[in-house]
Chains A and B, each alone.
Chain A
Amino acid sequence: MKSNKIFYLVLMLALYLSACHDQLELKPFQSIDDAQASANESNVKAILTGAYDALADGDVLGGNALRNAELQAGEGEILWVGTFFDPREIFNKTMQTANNDATQLWLDGFNTINSANNVLAALDVVAEKDRKTVGGEALFIRAITNFELIRFFGKPYVAGQPNAQLGIPLITTPTRGINDASKVSRSTVEQVYAAIIADLLKAETDLPQTNSWRASSLAASALLSRVYLQQGDYAKARDAASKVIASAKFTLLADYEDVFNRDANSSEDIFAIQLTDQDGVNNMNTFFSIPDFGGRDGDIEILDGHLNLYPAGDKRKDLFFDGNAAMRSGKWNNQFGNVGIIRLAEMYLIRAECNARLNTSTGATAVADYNRTRIRAGLAAATTVTVDQILLERRLELAHEGFRVHDLKRTKQKVGNFNFDADKLVFPIPFREIEANSNLQQNPGY
């Protein structure tokens, strides 16, 4: 009898524990369902923050997009000595289609665009008063990402031509599922630039003039100026730059040295990737700096070929230092410092260049703008200036900040032995992407 009771007890216990189907309905703890995600305003705003986070990825504006632009045109000025094979391929212009840095730039770039598209598709749940700002920021993020991608994965934009060369796929809707429509083919370079400009013009209109560290109307204008310059549309580039300068929201810092290694934006920063010691990566630090400052082994050395460009007395040269048995750039020694993307000095230099090229003096004379950064660098003011002098000034002022290859391409100069529009100066469409999307055409030369 006693045994029987135990038997029933065991049986009941087993059945109780076993017969709960709802035990199969488990919910994740660290994630939420995508249906809920765009259901309310605070979630959409959170996705916008996520889009900034994606943009700040080490492979995009967290550093590598800038580093790649320096590496690809490093001839005689910098030397890649790191062990990583993929950056060395970029440096040597011997990229394989599986080059991991190219692949990651592509993947993380489009991941950023998808986040931005998620925001843009859910704007109707955002209250009227914030809707334009939220939307404008997402447009800015999409535009700056497309701009990074088109400059690496497409042949250069050439002014006065149809620019029908293949660009990148233009993605404007968030991904909800995978189907044949997911296999988007490449738009032309012209179409991509047009889309970037359209996004930025709307962002410029919708965003407040300043917006703390976030994308602002003036940041959109500044980026527009850069895009127009890349297109060789000097008048529009000049006007957009002039608008930023005229707003008087930004000022040049007194000391060049103070511009860099900042934990927070300075008055010179128009847009920067924000790092904290808990979040984000500064890959410019990783590769340009040395272990003492949290960098790798000093993977990029600065050569005399660059240092000799500075005229005597140029304070900017003093920022270089000898570390780990080579000369290093001093701009990237804060492991947790922001990655500067657009700063006021660039606007002065764009306006100077455009005014000089167009023989105008919108906002200021070319030489006046040219002198601003030179005087800060401790050099004597010039009285006249040529386009070439402005380009050199730009090369010094903005050295190792991710401009080099793009400037060479837009000014149709040679990169080492390569013509500005050489096949090998364009990244391959990543191998994995060609495999996953049969509608993609590989770039010539790969």
Chain B
Amino acid sequence: MSNQNGRFGIHGGQYIPETLMNAVIELEEAYNHYKNDPEFNKELETLFNEYAGRPSRLYYAEKMTKDLGGAKIYLKREDLNHTGAHKINNVLGQALLAKKMGKTRLIAETGAGQHGVATATAAALMGMECVVFMGEEDTRRQALNVYKMKLLGAEVVPVTTGTATLKDAVSEAMREWTSRISDTHYCLGSVMGPHPFPTIVRDFQAVISKEIKEQILKKEGRLPDVVMACVGGGSNAIGTFYNFIEDKEVQLIGCEAAGRGVDTFETAATIATGKLGIFHGMKSYFCQDEYGQIAPVYSISAGLDYPGIGPEHAYLNDIGRTQYVPVTDDEAVNAFEYLSRTEGIIPAIESSHALAHAMKIAPSMDKDKIIVITISGRGDKDCAAIARYRGENINE
């Protein structure tokens, strides 16, 4: 979808310090070479299948379907991947690419910790050094993931600047990259940042929609009516949408984190409340004030707690191909509990945003309609926070 300069319509681009320009150019050249290299693709496929456990299941949620009484609901189980989320798809791709480029050190930002854990995992597997930047606030919200990263041999750097969440972790990882480029690859975790990251990450995540398409055709003999996923930066969503973009009859819905509501300041719903801007290397939509200062966004979900959205999503929104809807903390927590009770699947609080919206639209849809929801990750990491949200204190 992107043109040569990494633009998706007016979005995207490379708004980064001169110090990093040759690094992203080198990355783009390497990627353009390896993406067509049969040996690279074979190695990656083996890692996907043998290590990450792909293809992930497309599960017919029969009880949920019957309970809601409308459209037939399928869950794309990215939560069953190794490390428990879709993040591993992108990380295995980038780590392999970095290794081919001769890099020996991976750095990454993380919000909920899933991308950090995935990066630490790939680094351990491939014998690379790993440093993960994580907002201090998030290190508290996701203490278990911090432990896992350390266990996997990574160094975790708590970021105390700004709101001490995902955006600050991205800023700090970018700062680190400018200070050490020759041996270091910045393993960006979402379809954001400067070109070529939004394209590279999307390509590695596109395996999700490639599989959904094959699996649903096999099970139902037709394409789904609605495909949906949660959106922060938007990597699991773009992976879920990508191979359906040309199938105009398939409705694509991205679910943003509205936090305490889009009419409050405590929200992270970028399409609903943001405006066009330039930040973190890209032109896209961002939550910001009238002077362009980036807003201190909020969501119960550390993984969606980001003031921007990937440039390809911004473009899909502009052309009306994809619809973006806000989902509040409360709705997401209800969906988190609902899926656990109904299907015996504990979803990540991020993915619960998509589930919540499905719960709103499914009942009024005909029974012969099909919805596919990507469960981007598992919810173990969220149990303590959801318990707290419900006023219960559990010792993790």
| B partners with A | no
